[in-house]
Structure 1
Amino acid sequence: MNKQFNDALIKVPQLTIGFWIIKILATTLGETGGDAVSMSMNLGYLVGTVIFMSFFIAAVIMQVKSTKFSPFIYWITIIASTTVGTTLADFADRSLGIGYLGGSTLLATLLIITLAIWYRTIGSISVSSIDNPKAESFYWLTIMFSQTLGTALGDWTADTAGLGYIGAAYIFSTGLGIVLTLYMFTKVSRTMLFWLAFVLTRPLGAVVGDFLDKPVAHGGLELSRYSATATLLFVIVVLIILLPQRPALKQH
């Protein structure tokens, strides 16, 4: 009885291929959706960040208060984290003037500090240990920082490093391929590989999103941010319905 109760408290999904497909689509949506509000609507990065941060906080509260795993609540919270990550990174990089490298360094530091505090407080940073509100709070704070870091990394690689959106996409796809190889053929910590993959999927989604909606003169396809966002959201909803979505299992 206690085992079933503890397992029910884990409200994050098992790590399957479907999980990573939806995650990449969600991060791409985060880029197009964030840009739609801050750029296309001309609200700016600060207002966009306030809007999406409010959305993210509300989603996290809903996720933490839920008494069982809900795929839709979980992915709504992920999407909220990617949109706020987009506008927050752009605000730090551009409005505050610290640049892509400065923003990436700051966010990487915050991510590492959050993981360290989480590990020191809970004793584990693995998905299987997220079975109480405190661990969930650390999980979502870490995810927000990872999503914001990923946006800054994507912008830095595509723009400052001069690789362009396609070149940057190749770089991050290669990084994910290396993580997959390590997962399949080595005994490297699965928890470390998870967080590496989680961070790397964000800049991949960011540069793909930029490729879709940025002007042709800047290397993009100049598609409508609204239609791209709506299409991505539709595909995500379909995949959530069609693909198995089960809660992660608690390790005993």
Structure 2
Amino acid sequence: MMTVSQIDAPANRVPEVTLDFWLIKLMAVTMGETAADYLAVNLGLGLTATSLLMTAVLVVVLVAQFAQRRYVPWAYWLAVVMISIVGTLVTDNLVDNFGVPLTVTTAVFTLALAATFLAWYRAEGTLSIHEVTTIRREAYYWLAILFTFALGTAAGDLMAERFGLGYLATGILFGMIILSLAAGYYLMGLDAVLGFWLAYIFTRPLGASFGDLLSQPPEYGGLGFGTIVTSAIFLAVIALIVGLMTLRAGRQATA
């Protein structure tokens, strides 16, 4: 039974970190990579038009997310998918349209993310995702998420393309980093907040690398499934998991 203080306490606006969370987050970032490529290349919209369109959609989605006063699965994960696409496009625009080297974009987004965390901590005294209960904290949260996606895209492309590791080796590399973070948390007492944000950053290049591996043609080191098929598969999995989350949340609310 809930106490009066629990009932009056503001609800967290973001989900608990569970296996479902990491699974759908990985699917979302993978789809963000392939969907951005599909819109810009396959549909022929180009990076600029695709970026403007997706940014406008992201604004609408974030308005819907900020209107919630608690965690609502469909609103939250739709925002994650859209911010994943826009984060990818931000990096792609800087590299392809403005000629900024991947080494520079990786460094710039690292500094931008660090500055966001610093401002967040100074304003709120915590970076914990278990206490995202106000609009200001949620604004810091989504800004940090945007920079993690842009940074992850830059770092993944830097390793796979600039340093020539290829998509599979890059995916394996970042997968091993995430496993080491998990081991550090469970076995060596790694700080939970630090471990979460590091893992969140590195799942972006992990997902993007495997998205490119599946979608890119064999001559570019991929398996040739294409962006349409790859995006559709991951979108279907995301929709299924979010549907299950929504049903589960409904049962818990009526219990």
1:22 aligns with 2:5: no
Establish whether residue 127 from structure 1 lines up as the match of residue 122 from structure 2. Answer: no
Q: CA shift at 1:222, angstroms?
A: 2.0
Measured after TM superposition, the shift of residue 186 of structure 1 is 2.1
Matching residue of 2:36: 34
Contact 1:119/1:125 (CA < 8 Å) preserved in 2? yes
1:218-238 Cα deviation digits (max 9, x unpaired): 101222312221221111111
- Identity rate, percent: 30
Equivalent-residue separation in structure 2 for 1:5 and 1:146 (angstroms)? 33
Counterpart of 1:209?
211
- Residue 249 (structure 1) aligns with: none
Question: Partner residue of 2:7?
Answer: 4
State how 1:62-73 maps to structure 2 within 5 Å: 62-73=64-75
SS of the counterpart of 1:157?
A: helix
For the Cα contact (< 8 Å) 1:183–1:190, is it kept in 2?
A: yes
**Alpha-carbon RMSD:** 1.4
Q: 2:166 matched to which residue of 1?
A: 164
Alignment of 1:234 onto 2:239: no
The aligned amino acid for 2:121 is Y
Q: Partner of 1:24: helix, strand, or coil?
A: helix
SS of residue paired to 1:11: coil
How many residue pairs get aligned? The number is 245
Shift, 1:243, TM fit: 5.0
CA contact (8 A) 1:213 1:222 kept: yes
1:128-152 superposed Cα distances (whole Å, 9 cap, x missing partner): 1210000000100110010111111
Q: 1:43 aligns with which of 26, 30, 45?
A: 45
Q: Which amino acid aligns with 2:6?
A: K
Deviation at 1:51?
1.6
One-letter amino acid matched to 2:188: T
Indicate the structure whose relative CO is greater, using CA pairs within 8 Å and at least 6 residues apart: 1
Does residue 84 of structure 2 align to residue 87 of structure 1?
A: no
Q: Using the alignment, how far apart are the partners of 2:8 and 2:106 within structure 1? A: 40
TM-score by length of 1: 0.93
Distance 1:243 1:142, change over 3 A: same
Match of 2:202 in 1: 200
Aligned-pair distance for 1:5?
3.3
Q: How does 1:81-120 map to 2 (within 5 A)?
A: 81-120=83-122
Distance between the aligned counterparts of 2:132 and 2:32, measured in 1?
24
Rg comparison, structure with higher value: 2
Q: Does the Cα contact within 8 Å between 2:16 and 2:130 map onto a contact in 1?
A: no
1:86–1:148 CA contact under 8 A, matched in 2: yes
Q: CA deviation at 1:240?
A: 2.0
Q: Which residue of 2 aligns with 1:175?
A: 177
TM-score (norm 2): 0.92
Report the AA paired with residue 201 of structure 1.
T
Give the deviation of 1:160 after TM superposition.
0.8
Q: Which residue identity does 2:61 align to in structure 1?
A: A
Task: Give distance in 2, aligned partners of 1:110 and 1:55.
Answer: 23
Gaps of 5+ in 2: 250-255
- In terms of mean alpha carbon deviation, does 13-22 or 43-52 score higher? 43-52
Distance, in Å, in 2 between the alignment partners of 1:123 and 1:66 is 23
